[in-house]
Amino acid sequence: MKYMLLIYAGTGVTEPECTVEDWQAWDKALHDAGVKVSGESLADLVTATTVQVKAGERTVTDGPFAETRELLGGFVVIDVPDLDVALDWAARSPGSRDGGAIEVRPIADFG
């Protein structure tokens, strides 16, 4: 089953304890286990643009839509047998430390 791991960074942490090497090691572990389907880091929050359509009128706003204490920093899609395995991979992510969080969502299968 495929799961999307949404990687959120806490905004209260100025110096995260995880390093680029930690992220590279986790990514390598995902690859070596053959579970990584795709994944990307997102550009800085200041590059975000939000689009809303209300009553046929399009509104474009610079920045993210929601005010939140966490920032979506990226995602990884994995293909694993079940939720427990997905949660194990999420817990191993450097993004789950330092005030961050990993949201695990099953990908709907409409086929």
Note the pLDDT of residue 77.
98
Note the pLDDT of residue 47.
86
Note the pLDDT of residue 10.
72
Note the pLDDT of residue 94.
93
- What are the tokens at 101? 């969080």
Note the pLDDT of residue 1.
96
All structural domains of the chain, each given as residue ranges with its CATH number in brackets, are 2-106 (3.30.70.1060)
For the chain (length 111 residues), average pLDDT per consecutive 10? 92 70 96 97 85 93 68 93 97 90 94 86
